[in-house]
Chains A and B, each alone.
Chain A
Amino acid sequence: MKSSHQPSQSWPLVAGLPGAQETIYSFFSPSFVTLSYFSFFFSLNPFSRFDYFKSLKMKLDTSGFETSMPMIGFGSSSDMLDGFSTVPSFDLPRTTDFDGFQKEAVQMVKPAKGTTTLAFIFKEGVMVAADSRASMGGYISSQSVKKIIEINPYMLGTMAGGAADCQFWHRNLGIKCRLHELANKRRISVSGASKLLANMLYSYRGMGLSVGTMIAGWDETGPGLYYVDNEGGRLKGDRFSVGSGSPYAYGVLDSGYKFDMTVAEASELARRSIYHATFRDGASGGVASVYHVGPKGWTKLSGDDVGELHYHYYPVAPATAEQVMEEAAAE
């Protein structure tokens, strides 16, 4: 999985179009200096395209967390220093081809999503599993990343894409879910939670977020599983696998899947799928964690190192030379 990696070029892009992480953290931390830095770096050049987008914005529920709806205030830099509750609006860089520029910006962050995560619904609930490797290009930066994020005691999210993006947005989603519970005296549904996340990500579309996550949980209507990505797409489904190792995981998962599995069978299937993905995919590895979401919430079932799992599934036969020597000794 790709951890955040800022290219060290002195190109306007690096300073001017902050990685989404910086934007978000800068309005959380009272770093007044950061805000003003961005406002003075570029000259004003409002684009009418974004006024069109503003009018298209559907009425989103911002009652839980006011700042989740970034007003892309291009040209409205007078509001910049208005307090820290608004997302800082930044001026557009002067370029003839803004669309091309945006595309290049996204490519630069490159949501490669080096990881393997999977989740599937079966008779007894939802099974969620993931590896734990973080990579930066060819360098493995960590073998012990927690890729299954506990949003609340009955909902899990998986992490694929930018580590910071996933961690932050899942935590943010947890806040919104809790506020919903407090305001409405009942838990939010899985479809509602995934919708909130998808809407939040959609409003940051094109700004370089990299999130490919699955929201799994159990609500009044039973088990729920949704796939949400940084494009703002949201899919409901029974079986998902996300990441560079997903083709391998799908192979094992799809061939072994039955709706009527027991929890033990399903957890073994999930663990094996992750193992096979880590075996073939270089960007996946570390520890295969398996979680189960049932009517009473989630429980962690297992967390096995995939190296050890390899010898568990394919034990090495003792060498022939040793066998002969034993026989000789016995005689």
Chain B
Amino acid sequence: MARYDRAITVFSPDGHLFQVEYALEAVRKGNAAVGVRGADTVVLAVEKKSTPKLQDSRSARKIVSLDNHIALACAGLKADARVLINKARIECQSHRLTLEDPVTVEYITRYIAGLQQKYTQSGGVRPFGLSTLIVGFDPYTRIPYLYQTDPSGTFSAWKANATGRNSNSIREFLEKNYKESSGPETVKLAIRALLEVVESGGKNIEVAVMTREEGGLRQLEEAEIDAIVAEIEAEKAAAEAAKKGPSKET
């Protein structure tokens, strides 16, 4: 008991917080997750490990909504995610109650990041082992946002980002191929990015879309995802053929 009140997260001699860095390692082992912000659409796409035959896939949703206009996807320890998501949902409603306004995306991101930070500076607790991607539209202004938080408690806004397994290669792909897009183009970009590291196919990807007009989170059906994946493959094949074509002629 004497050692229980010592903070788990302490500084190392060269200024690192090793627990936080280990938490980031846990994130790197988690499922790949991609978020893309378009002009009027925001998309979250998460890698889905193959579900066992007897498991009800709907109970293991990886993309959740925090409120009507905010959605969250995460990479890392899923049990930690549940706790964080519940707290964030309560905060969204509490904000509605006291301020008579829905939360802005930045506010709830700041809250989640604040929670993650608190657990790096308290005694007897370990940091949350997850990074989150938070998308949504601000109330009234209806501007789309994509934010990322990590176990250290920092957050920042992005045009497109990835976290989890192989997030570096996905991010490189996004940097090369990102351009301002809207509607289905945004969805396609997100899926293309995720397909860089995930086996192709609708049953390995979970995709959710939020548009400015509709509001609300829409999870894409497997069939829809398959269709988009097929489109992407076709485009890729056409691009390959175009590359090979001219050289054949000469």
Chain A contributes a number of interface residues (CB within 8 A of B) equal to 18
Are B107 and A196 in touch, CB under 8 angstroms? no
Contact residues, A100-138 vs B (CB, 8 A): none
Query: B99: which of A58, A59, A192, A221 is its contact (CB, 8 Å)?
Result: A192
Query: A184: which of B94, B97, B100, B107 is its contact (CB, 8 Å)?
Result: B107
**Cβ proximity bits B69-106 to A, threshold 8 Å, 1 near / 0 not:** 00000000000000000000010001101111100101
Cα-based distance from A195 to B99 in the complex (angstroms): 6
**Cβ proximity bits A164-196 to B, threshold 8 Å, 1 near / 0 not:** 000000000000000010011110110110011
Q: Does any Cβ of B come within 8 Å of A244's Cβ? A: no
**Cβ proximity bits B55-77 to A, threshold 8 Å, 1 near / 0 not:** 00000000000000000000000
Q: Does any Cβ of B come within 8 Å of A220's Cβ? A: yes
The 6 lowest CB-CB distance pairs between A and B, nearest first, are A191-B100, A192-B99, A61-B98, A59-B94, A195-B100, A192-B100
List residues of chain B with CB within 8 A of the CB of A195: 97-100
List residues of chain A with CB within 8 A of the CB of B98: 60-61, 192, 195-196, 199
Are A196 and B99 in touch, CB under 8 angstroms? yes
Cα-based distance from A185 to B90 in the complex (angstroms): 22
Closest to A189 in B: B101
List residues of chain B with CB within 8 A of the CB of A186: 104
Some 6 contacts from A to B, beta carbons below 8 A apart, are A59-B90, A61-B94, A180-B99, A188-B99, A191-B101, A192-B99
Q: Does any Cβ of A come within 8 Å of B140's Cβ? A: yes
List residues of chain A with CB within 8 A of the CB of B101: 189, 191-192
Cα-based distance from A207 to B133 in the complex (angstroms): 46
Closest to B139 in A: A220
Minimum C-beta distance from B94 to chain A (A): 5
Cα-based distance from A180 to B107 in the complex (angstroms): 11
List residues of chain A with CB within 8 A of the CB of B95: 61
Minimum C-beta distance from A205 to chain B (A): 17
List residues of chain A with CB within 8 A of the CB of B97: 58-59, 195
Are A184 and B90 in touch, CB under 8 angstroms? no
Cα-based distance from A58 to B96 in the complex (angstroms): 12
Minimum C-beta distance from B91 to chain A (A): 9
Cα-based distance from A61 to B101 in the complex (angstroms): 13
